[in-house]
Structure formats: C-alpha cells, structure tokens
A = this chain, B = another copy of it.
Amino acid sequence: MAGQPKRPTPRHEEIAEDLRARITAGDYAEDGQLAKSEDELSAHYGAARGTIRQAVAQLRGEGLVESRRSKGLFVTPWRPIPRNSPQRLSVEQWGSGQSIWDLDLDGRQLEVKDVQIEQLPAEPNVARSLGLAEGGLVWRRARRFFVEERPVQYAVSYLPAGLVEGSRITQINTGPGGTPARLKELGHEPVRHREELRPRMPTAAERELLQLHRETPVLEIVRVSWDAAETAVERVEMLLDGSRYVLGYDF
C-alpha cells in the first residue's frame, strides 16, 4: 500500500482510463453519449476543464470518442473504409474500375471532388521518382475523395508530360478505367508498383483539407508505378484520414 510515488499516474490518465473502461464495457451503448458537456465531466470528476480536455483529447486520438459542438461527447461509431491491395493484378481488374484498390464500402459511395489539373516543372522529389531531369514537365492531378459527404483522402498524381500529352489523363474526366486504362492505351501499362507509407500528425492546413480533429493521425502514402519497360509512369502522393481507413495487403 505504501512506498509508491505520490502521483503514479496523472489525473487526466485516470479519467481517460475510466471513460475508456466504461466505453468498452458498453455503458453508453444506447445513444452513445458520454456527457452533455466538458463542464459536466469537470464537475463529475472534480477536475479543471483543462484536465478533462486532456483526457478527452487522448480518447479522440484513440478513435473512441468524438466531440460535437453544443451537443456533447459521443462514442465514435467506427465504420472503417477498407482499402485492399489486389491479390492478383490481372488486366481485367485493371479495366473495370477507377482504382487498383478493391474498395468494399459496404454500400457507401466513394466520390471524387475538387479535381485540379495543371502542367508544371517537376520538383526534385517528383523528378527523382519519375526518372526525369529536374524541371522536366509533368502533369499534376490533385483531388479529394469523399465518403458520405466527408473528405477521407487527398491525392496528388504526377505523370510525365511527354508520356501522357494529348490523352484524357490531362482532362478532369479520364474516362472508363481511369488513368491506368489510358496509360495502357498509350503503351505504358503499369505492371509494377511500390508503396511507401508512414503515419504522422497533420499540419493545420492538412487538418483543414480533411476536416480532422487535432488528435487524428494521417497516413502519408507515396506510390510509384512502372510499365513493362521499367519506365516510371506515375507517382501518387496520398494523405488519408487515419481514423477512417483500414489498409489490407495480401502477399
């Protein structure tokens, strides 16, 4: 009983643990509401609001809780967006969809919005990925993906201008099969891909772009694709709302 340090665990951690235990035990199963306000929790636990906010921020980061202004604190209803790598990369699969990713959205729609297209000289990173001289011309396609009217991903593609000039890849609507189908028609079907990814916290600008809470991590992904002649044909930089996706890889 004795011998322990006076403050083994901070108060905000105790509060977070208590709330987490109640959530996983299903205490708020009815309507999912933990509390009607931070002040209510402040009174309940006898802690300053700042301490309550630390505890709640912790739980928001774990993806368990979300705050709704003027309504209160709620258990997050988690319906992850699956993003599965293809098990077999057959040509038929390529032609069928916009993406090489087999998205099972459980009835929900993935919508593309805010498409921006421009031609510009390649930054060093992009030039290196695509095997171009620095300043070589590339087409840049930026867009956001939405599920149920909420942004879940921001993606920017770069393609060598010399490769795709005049094709529908330089237009907003790339046509059936999307960019990969057009690349195939141009004799540069992507057959090999490499993705690199890491999690991190978003900048303020990125939080705005994806409408994220301060505590929500993002997944930064860079994919480069090559054709059969080992020519790099596309580089895609993606930013995913980390609280909404589950990525699957089969190998």
Contact = CB atoms under 8 A, between A and B. Distances in A.
Interface of A: 9, 13, 16-17, 20, 58, 61-63, 80, 85-86, 89, 192-204, 215, 217-219, 242-243, 245-251
B199 A242 contact: yes
B13 A204 contact: yes
B200 A243 contact: yes
Contact of A58 (B80, B198, B201, B249): B201
A80 B13 CA distance: 30
B63 A194 contact: no
Contacts of A250: 192-194
13 contacts: A61-B200, A62-B203, A63-B200, A89-B251, A193-B250, A193-B251, A194-B248, A195-B248, A195-B251, A198-B242, A198-B247, A199-B242, A249-B249
Given A61-B200, A198-B80, A217-B242, A251 B251 contact: yes
A214 to B, nearest CB: 8
Label chain A's interface by main secondary structure: mixed
Contacts of A20: 203
Contacts of A89: 251
B251 A85 contact: yes
A12 to B, nearest CB: 9
Contact of A195 (B202, B217, B249): B249
A199 to B, nearest CB: 3
